[in-house]
Homo-oligomer: A and B are copies of this chain.
Amino acid sequence: MFDKLVIIGVGLIGGSIALAARRAGLAHHIVGCGRASEALQEALKLGVIDATATPVAAVKDADFVLLAMPVGNMPQVMQDIAPHLPAHAIVTDAGSTKGDVISAARLHLADHLSRFVPAHPIAGAEKSGVTAARTELFDHKNVVLTPLPENDVDAVNLATEFWRACGANVSLMSPAQHDRIFAAVSHLPHVLAFALVEEISRRPNAEQLFGFAAGGFRDFSRIAGSSPEMWRDICLANHDAMLAEIDAYTARLNDIRRLIESNDGKQLMTVFEHARDARTAWAEKFNQK
């Protein structure tokens, strides 16, 4: 499909895309770039990428460029590669937020907007780094594309084909809609999990508390094991939607608090039943557990 695929940021996501692209025969040559040379050597050793280079050198004859670094680093990388991108090269990204990535692209990839197709693969794991990369990471997972008005039709089509060939189900929506949806179902739960673990770990009897934490805590807090850097960047990038979600959640939690305070068992039961039914229906519909 392409001669040269360049992946900037070869961690869990970038590495898994490299593996999936290789499985699908999407590129003859996969070049990886990144800040941490040890991680790149690891990626080479694992056969995830064929070669390493600086971003500037790598993109010069690239056909398809994937930006898979933390969203906070995207502006600098865009600025660095912009003067060196071939006119035909498709650029896509794997950022969990879209509004901020698109703002950076408008600033730094202004001459290349027709070929920049923003994307968000909805897949991940609590472990980060290329050693956690898996060929099947995107199989049957959602990838959301948020095309720009400036995009060439063939660029959107090629990006769509690329992600589909990596195993994903591709959906298209506006960047703003994307950022609101993922603030609610992904970004907020991560912040909530970090907040619980932080709260417990700051108590004088933290060791005792952790000693009695069991399966419920384990599941709830699993995502607090995620990359702090990535989630810091997401919180800042999706700033407005995050604040709105935290406020809505706090209000909902306060409703439940009031029911407990007033010993309103009947209403508490109604809330918990409704939530339980919604969780069960979701799990059945999407074959989750």
* Chain A residues near B (Cβ < 8 Å): 72, 122-125, 141-142, 144, 181-182, 184-186, 188-201, 203, 205-206, 208-229, 231-233, 235-236, 239, 242-243, 246-250, 252-254, 256-257, 260-261, 263, 265, 268-269, 271-276, 278-280, 282-283, 285-286, 288-289
Question: Assembly of this chain: how many copies?
Answer: 2
* B215 engages A125 (CB within 8 Å): yes
- Secondary structure at chain A's binding surface: helix, strand, loop or mixed? helix
* A209 engages B189 (CB within 8 Å): no
When C-beta atoms are compared, the residue in chain B nearest to A238 turns out to be B260
- Contacts of A256 on B, CB cut-off 8 Å? 191, 194-195, 198, 246
**A46 to B: closest C-beta gap in Å:** 22
**A130 to B: closest C-beta gap in Å:** 19
* A280 engages B250 (CB within 8 Å): no
Report the separation of the CA atoms of residues A235 and B213 in the bound assembly, to the nearest whole angstrom.
18
* B246 engages A257 (CB within 8 Å): yes
When C-beta atoms are compared, the residue in chain B nearest to A270 turns out to be B228
- Contacts of A279 on B, CB cut-off 8 Å? 197, 221-222, 224-225
Contacts A196-B189, A260-B242 given; indicate if A276 touches B225 (C-beta within 8 A): yes
* A236 engages B220 (CB within 8 Å): no
Q: Give the contacting residue for A269; candidates B225, B232, B268; CB below 8 A.
A: B232
